[in-house]
Structure 1
Amino acid sequence: MGADRRRYGPGRGVRTPTLLAAAAALLAGCASVPDSGDVEPVKASPPGESQVRVYAVPPREKAEPDEIVNGFLEAMTSDDPDFAMARKYLTKKASEYWRPGAGTTVLRAAPDPAGPKELSGADGSALTYPLYGDRIADVDSVHAYQPTEPTEYAGEIRLVRQNAGGAKEWRIDSLPQGLVLGESDFQRNYRSVNKYYFASGENWLVADPVYIRQRIDPTTRMDPVTQAVKVLLDGPTNWLKPVVDSPFPAGTALQKGTQSLEFDDRNALKVPLNDKASKAGRTQCRKMAAQLLFTLRDLTSTPVGQVELLADGSSLCVLSGDQAEEFAPDRTTGRSDNPYFVDDRGRLSLLRASADEDVDRSHVIGPFGSGGVKLGSVAVARDEKRAAGVTDDAKSLYVSSILSDGELAPALVSSGGPARSRLSPPSWDGHGDLWIADRDPGKPRLLRFAEGIGTPQPVTVAGLGDGRIQGLRVSADGVRIALLVSEGGRTTLQIGRVERSGSPADPTVSVAQLQSVAPQMETVTAVSWAGPSRLVVVGKEAGGVQQVRYIQTDGSTSAASVLPGLNQVTAIAAANDDRQPLVADSDDAGIVRLPSGGNWQTMVEVGSSPVYPG
């Protein structure tokens, strides 16, 4: 049966002994092992694939209405081709109407059918079953995940009696479109994959997370690799589309009939495309191949060797994994990122340490390292040549070199707000621009400094309403911004799309279409980017304790995303390279790190504002 158990609690209708017997029969059917048939080779499961499988069973002869409803809900959680077994519970008309690929409603637990609500028809030949549950997310027809604050789900399944082989059998003739799954069934059947597009007008890639099936897609019969290629060719999700480009010529798709793509023994892949792709020039084709290489990385246990694009059987171009690095979302300086922090005297210091080494710390060169200004929060530019620092009273923002000595330049901006409502910690984007929020209640604003210098440029934030920005982190690709927004006694995590218009010399920058990333959390304390589509978040749910956990930028999570507990965390920092440890500021333990597979370890007993470049 599905990983979620059906609930038969009080208030959900009276369950008869017949239903209990049916449930037992269904369990036996789900657990049965085939005892006939040919032996077939089985491919190794892709990384992260769940080994739990659900095999749907058909309705038994003269099944009661409750058995039909529960059997269908179970069959929806299977990998049955085209949901053929699930369709056996439907009338012919309902089967033609039902589109499983129209989208997925994700509930906290499996949908709970509450006994028949009403009888209808002249002879009582129709029954209606309400479906209950807590709705926590939706996945649309283009595979984009959207979390919601838990709300009551109210669906409905209608059954009728129909003639089948001379007997009257119950079948479903009306049902919700798409799939309705409990969270554990959804996580068992689907996996998150980043597809990649180019930031508009730029030469680097942006991650666009979507969900595909863990195994063969029941509707398209495509394996996971082919699914990933298809969703990439389908184009970006609606939310990201305004700020990215795809070099694939319009109408490009997989060659008709392609359902399986396999890597060879060198981990190279040939991708057959239709004739639309033949319009691409060599430079354009290399960018197309780079999109595919980055998209496929999460699906292989070893690095992708190369991708070759074909159109009408002819080779368009070949790109290796190493060559694709020129289009990487985070263009690194070629050295491993090390964290920085503010020491007990307000000086910017560098921390050098891996999980198995003693900590070595040193002050940076220049005014920020000499104590010329006492810092409270900092951000180090991605090229690690400059840093931005906010004074310990949060009043003024400065930028200084951290590679050479010199006089401290005048403050870029100062806040006139009360002591606890001044400047937020700053953040650098992939363009080399500096961002900060002024939290002054009388004049709250989001500011951007082009190339980290000059006059502050106010940035409008559509949909902010009465909310006030308390903290921010801009992505390495420069097209997304994570905002901590306070309103009504809560501080929530929102992701905004960074839109740029106007001329390159005089661009207008705004933030559009805020979407809640962690609606289940009552308050969020700190956030950091932790890769191309992942955030590490400190917060707590209503009535819960503080947690440190990973959350995808689309708001999805997994059971493995919760990290070891740490008390009184005020700041968190992650590198884009997931081999680097998380670093946090804890009032209880000081500056701490979390090595892979380990527990939090104290690096510096007194300090604040740990950050990686960005």
Structure 2
Amino acid sequence: MGADRDGGGRRRPARAAAYGVCGVVLLAGCASMPDSGDVSGVDSTPRQDTQVRVFAMPPPDNAQPSDIVSGFLEALTSDDPSYSTARQYLTKAASRAWKPGLSSTVLADGPGIDVNRLGSRENSNDLSFTLTGTKLARVDAQQAYAPASGSYNEPVHLSRDRKTKQWRIDTPPQGVVMGKSDFQRNYMAVSKYYFATDTASRSASRPAAVADPVYVRRRVDPMTQMVRSLLSGPTHWLDPVVRTSFPTGTQLQKGVAALAPDDQNKLTVPLNANAARAGAARCKEMAAQILFTVQTLTPAVDEIQLRSGRTQLCSLVEGRANDVASLGSARQPDYVYFLDNKSRLVRLAAGANSTKAEPVPGALGEVGRQLRSVAVSRHEDRAAGVSADAKNLYVASLASGSSLGAPVLVSHGTTERDRLSAPSWDANGDLWVADRDPAKPRLLLLDQGKGEPVEVRTPDLDGSIQDVRVAADGVRIALVVAKGGKTSLLIGRIERRQESAETRPTVSVLELRSASPELEDVTTMSWAGDGRLVVAGREQGGVQTMRYVLVDGSTPEGPAPAALSGIKEITATESDSLPMVANSEDGIVRLPSGMQWQKVTDGQAPVYPG
């Protein structure tokens, strides 16, 4: 996420491509390593300037088997677009069969190399090794990242050519493998954008844009990689709830080698004949998808022009993109809300320096309501509040003269901890809340914040939901889940099914996955971007920390939020132009961009709309 564009209509992410070349690092690929002995390793390359280009060296003549293995592993960490140097360490047959794009395995350190002594003989023409390490993550063929754990053990077999007497690998590891620091140097997180299907806002004519994070190689023409990935379709996890506007079979025009904006910040994208089947409105959506996608890489794109052959299909300038699709990070709430020391729901103008809050209009702004948590709808016209004993959920209009009325939901848990969580509004105007009653734990959805609640299906849930936050895109939900004395942050996909016009829709949260694998005790969290959250918690055996995480469980580039002690609750917006706000041991505090935490006033339960 990044700075505001002067006069622009939407925020741009601050990730920028490093197109300049500041230097070249040569990986020799010939480190000395014995054929026998204890486990050895190829250390990850120390973290370097991200603009430094890294190239590998081909295998020298008469290299020893261990040098071939280590040279191959080092070549995997280079900036060679097609891994042509790495292929020189393989036999011709192995090179044809090897598919580096199949996956990238990330290890805690560089892979260790263990000689398999059994079966190896002096003067033999074949030799095998085992690559070892501790898995941290895996990037699949769709470039989707997923945390991983456990041991990595992958065989590597070498043979010596009978004519040339040169050792080469005939059984390489699957895909690519490297240590964490090399992965961070070689890859970058970007987001491609699709449109929500059956969860788009009922009142909006524009589709909701949904970020689909992937990892691309940092210095191998990332912009073209991103567009190709966008055209190939959404990742498997997100696919059931999004759509693309590109006609089936749309690809870059044959012969297109690289994409780059011109000196007017316009990116022209030549597409094949399939793209020409789209009508004018659909073409604008295609352009919006590309614009949102490439702007997660560089802000230096103001306009997208789509062409097919010699025909211009359509163009879209940044200032009109929000007329085509709704992007969460483009939304600017009017206020930040919290409960003051009189238990009133109060508000401060979003982004203002004022520390004097005013009560909201209506019943929730009156003294004595005795609330413990609140949520304000994204249109800021309604609010939901949970009573101090966590038993009752109320919904009221934020209009002068509105009344509170009876609770819309009552929990029968025996203690406060076993009752209602803080609520959350989605983009449809529906209200989500967890009832933590051990006798009947449920995730509930109230259509437009009223009526009989729908029990949301959670077939993959293993634990008790403690907190709920729905993303602005309406298709993802963040849950803090407790199990075995630990709390973790999980991200689920929201699916709705309408079996018939006479029945209520079935709502499910599916394929829950961890977004904070390094934290064993999550205290609080909030969405802080189209595909990013801010989370406070404790690492194993550590003190409380605060960090950003992506929905796939990876850590985005850039600094973490400034440290804050005694944090209890936190709220942020999808746009980072507004300060993060928290409830800490000092009361309500806020974090303006580039500054330290500042005390605002006393209070609790701070929330932005959502």
Question: C-alpha displacement at 1:58, in angstroms?
Answer: 1.5
Q: 1:357-368 to 2 correspondence within 5 Å? A: 357-368=353-364
1:92-111 alignment, distance < 5 Å: 92-111=92-111
Mapped to 2, the partners of 1:262 and 1:509 lie a distance apart of 42
Give the drift of 1:327.
4.1
- What is the SS of the residue equivalent to 1:155? strand
**Are the structure 2 counterparts of residues 152 and 337 from structure 1 closer, same or farther at C-alpha, using a change threshold of 3 Å?**
farther
Question: Which residue matches 2:54?
Answer: 54
- Please tell me the residue identity of whatever aligns with 2:151: E
Relative to structure 1, the CA distance from residue 230 to residue 496 in structure 2 (aligned partners, 3 Å threshold; closer, same or farther) is same
Pairs aligned (count)? 572
Distance 2:277 2:557 in 1: 45
Please say if residues 352 and 360 of structure 1, whose CA atoms lie closer than 8 Å, have aligned partners that are also in contact.
Answer: no
The 2-side partners of 1:409 and 1:534 are apart by 36
Distance 1:529 1:331, change over 3 A: closer
Any idea what the Cα deviations from partners look like across 1:220-276, whole Å, max 9, x if unmatched? xxx221111111110010001001111211111110121211212221111111111
Following superposition, the deviation at residue 180 of structure 1 comes to 0.3
Matched with 1:146 is 146
Report the alpha carbon displacement of residue 333 of structure 1 after superposing the two structures with TM: 10
Equivalent of residue 211 in structure 1, options 215, 231, 235: 215
Greater Cα shift, 345-354 or 281-290 = 345-354
The match for 1:402 among 393, 398, 413 is: 398
Secondary structure of the equivalent of 1:578?
coil
Separation in 2 of the partners of 1:77 and 1:182? 9
What is the alpha-carbon distance in structure 1 between the residues aligned to residue 26 and residue 535 of structure 2? 30
Q: Which amino acid is the alignment partner of residue 357 of structure 2? A: R
Matched, 1:531 2:529: yes
Match of 1:157 in 2: 156
Distance 1:284 1:560, change over 3 A: closer
Q: CA deviation at 1:116?
A: 4.2
Correspondence for 2:409: 413
Contact 1:187 1:558 in 2 (8 A): no
> What is the alpha-carbon distance in structure 2 between the residues aligned to residue 266 and residue 360 of structure 1?
45
Cα distance 1:57–1:164, how it changes in 2: closer, same or farther (>3 A)?
farther
Give the drift of 1:519.
1.9
CA distance in 1, matches of 2:332, 2:524: 26
Q: Counterparts of 1:473 and 1:307 in 2: how far apart (Å)?
A: 33
| Distance in 2 separating the partners of 1:100 and 1:91 | 15
Q: Within 1, Cα distance between the matches of 2:384 and 2:189?
A: 35
Range moving further from structure 2, 380-389 or 337-346: 337-346
What do the CA deviations read for 1:119-141 (whole angstroms, capped 9, x no partner)? 43694332222111110111110
User: Structure 1 counterpart of 2:142, which letter?
Assistant: V
1:385–1:81 CA distance, 2 compared to 1 (3 A): closer
Matches within 5 A, 1:549-568: 549-558=547-556, 560-568=558-566
1:45 matched to which residue of 2?
Answer: none
Shift, 1:49, TM fit = 8.3
What secondary structure sits across from 2:161 in the alignment? Answer: strand
CA distance 1:176–1:444, change in 2 (3 Å): same
Cα distance 1:358–1:406, how it changes in 2: closer, same or farther (>3 A)? Answer: closer
SS at match of 1:283: helix
236, 251, 254: which one aligns with 2:252 = 254
TM-score by structure 2 length? 0.88
Query: Residue 280 of structure 2 corresponds to which residue in structure 1?
Result: 282
TM-score normalised per structure 1: 0.88
**Matched residue of 1:461: which SS?**
coil
| Counterpart residue number, 1:38 | none
The CA deviation string for residues 492-525 of structure 1, in whole angstroms up to 9 with x for no partner, is 1111110011157842211111111112221211
State the distance in 1 between where 2:573 and 2:349 align: 14
In 2 relative to 1, CA 226–584 (structure 1 residues): closer, same or farther, beyond 3 Å? same
Q: What is the alpha-carbon distance in structure 2 between the residues aligned to residue 535 and residue 556 of structure 1?
A: 11
Q: Tell me, yes or no, if structure 1 residue 591 matches structure 2 residue 591.
A: no
In 2, the alpha carbon distance for the partners of 1:309 and 1:538 equals 43
Is 1:609 equivalent to 2:605 in the alignment?
A: yes
Pick aligned residue for 1:482 from 478, 481, 491? 478
1:219-234 matched pairs, under 5 angstroms: 223-234=221-232
Preserved CA contact (<8 Å) 1:340 1:349: yes
**Which is worse superposed, 454-463 or 234-243?**
454-463
Aligned residues: percent identity?
A: 48
- Which aligned pairs between 1:387-466 and structure 2 lie closer than 5 A? 387-419=383-415, 420-465=417-462
| More RCO (CA 8 Å, sep 6+) | 2
Q: Which moved more, 1:112-121 or 1:534-543?
A: 112-121
1:70 counterpart SS class: helix
Distance 1:183 1:332 in 2: 30
* CA offsets 1:537-580 (integer angstroms, 9 cap, x no match): 11122111111100000111146353322222111111111111
Relative to 1, partners in 2 of residues 1:173 and 1:340: Cα closer, same or farther, differing over 3 Å? same
For the residue of structure 2 that corresponds to 1:596, the secondary structure is coil
Offset of residue 200 of structure 1: 0.6
What is the match of residue 243 of structure 1? 241
